[in-house]
């Protein structure tokens, strides 16, 4: 980290910790020691921790309640931002990215075309089926409703956890790619099956 930081103008390293709810207090203590050592050398270590609720919150609360570990919880859990799920418009953007992202790199072939060449040539695009996927998740009770307060007052917002989306899409790519899509679309049962798989209600 010291070498990496010395190669930048800002003398700074940003460390992203995913699945941080699985960390032990000792892990954060080790990270604190690293941060302190880098600080002595004029290097700033910024740590971004990502974790699932309520596990992440419970872990930080437990650390705060148990004496010395509280200093680590205060340091690495000082500013907390809760990431809400994807709304339908955001889901549309995700599906549009799948339709346009080149895979394999340099091939000129998109993800959608790679997994569904026949359907793709017939006009199939994930983006055009956001309503189908949204409806499938609604059927399994996965669309959450939250009250949002902003400058326009209170409003209700629907959202879907990102994990559900990224479990459904691989299912479609792996389990459905061998089927024949002469008509350039996926039948409704495929969207329902993908949502069922994502929520653990499909016997694979």
Question: Residue 30 is part of which domain span?
Answer: 2-76
- pLDDT grade, residue 150 (50/70/90)? low
- Domain membership of residue 83 (yes or no) is no
pLDDT at residue 175 in the model: 83
SS3 for 152?
coil
pLDDT at residue 179 in the model: 72
Residues 72 and 94 in one domain: no
Residues 65 and 100 in one domain: no
pLDDT at residue 180 in the model: 62
Q: Which of 79-88, 97-106, 136-145, 159-168 has the lowest mean pLDDT?
A: 79-88
Contact 171, 106 (CB under 8 A): no
Which residue, of 12, 47, 76, is where some domain finishes? Answer: 76
| 156-202 per-position pLDDT tens digit | 889 998 889 989 999 988 887 777 666 667 788 899 999 999 999 88
Q: pTM for this structure?
A: 0.64
Q: Regarding beta strands 44-49 and 12-17, do their DSSP bridges make them parallel or antiparallel, or are they unpaired? A: parallel
pLDDT at residue 70 in the model: 83
Inform me whether the pLDDT recorded for 59 exceeds 90: no
Q: Which two tokens stand for residue 48?
A: 């971004």
Contacts of 13-16 with CB under 8 Å at 24 or more apart are 13/38, 13/43, 13/44, 13/45, 13/46, 14/46, 14/47, 14/48, 15/45, 15/46, 15/47, 15/48, 16/48, 16/50
pLDDT at residue 104 in the model: 82
SS (H, E, C) 168-189: HHHHHHHHCCCCCCCCCCCCHH
What angle (nearest 5°) sits at the alpha carbon of residue 93, between those of residues 160 and 185? 90
pLDDT at residue 36 in the model: 93
Which residue, of 45, 76, 107, is where some domain finishes? Answer: 76
Q: What is the mean pLDDT of the chain?
A: 86
- Domain membership of residue 100 (yes or no) is yes
Residues 34 and 100 in one domain: no
pLDDT at residue 98 in the model: 92
Residues 106 and 183 in one domain: yes
Report the 10 Å Cβ neighbour count for 187: 13
- pLDDT grade, residue 102 (50/70/90)? very high
Residues 106 and 68 in one domain: no
Q: Could you give the count of Cα atoms lying within 13 Å of 43 in the half-sphere of its Cβ? A: 20
Tell which wins on pLDDT, 71 or 34: 34
| 10-47 per-position pLDDT tens digit | 888 899 988 888 888 889 889 999 999 999 999 999 88
């Amino acid at each position: 980290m010291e070498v990496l930081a010395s190669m930048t103008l800002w003398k700074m390293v940003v460390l992203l910790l995913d699945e941080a709810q699985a960390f032990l207090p000792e892990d954060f203590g080790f990270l604190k020691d690293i941060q302190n050592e880098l600080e002595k050398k004029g290097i700033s270590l910024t740590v971004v921790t990502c974790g699932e609720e309520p596990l992440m919150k419970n872990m930080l609360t437990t650390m705060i309640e148990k004496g010395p570990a509280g200093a680590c919880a205060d340091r690495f859990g000082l500013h907390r931002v809760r990431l809400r799920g994807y709304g339908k418009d955001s889901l549309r953007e995700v599906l549009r990215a799948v339709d346009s992202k080149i895979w394999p790199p340099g091939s000129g072939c998109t993800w959608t075309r790679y997994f569904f060449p026949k359907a793709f040539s017939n006009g199939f695009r994930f983006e055009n089926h956001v309503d189908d996927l949204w409806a499938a998740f609604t059927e399994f009770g996965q669309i959450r409703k939250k009250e949002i307060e902003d400058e326009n007052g209170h409003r209700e917002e629907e959202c879907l956890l990102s994990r559900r989306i990224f479990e459904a899409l691989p299912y479609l790519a792996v389990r459905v790619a061998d089927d024949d899509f002469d008509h350039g679309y996926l039948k409704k049962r495929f969207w329902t099956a993908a949502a069922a798989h994502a929520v653990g209600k499909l016997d694979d």
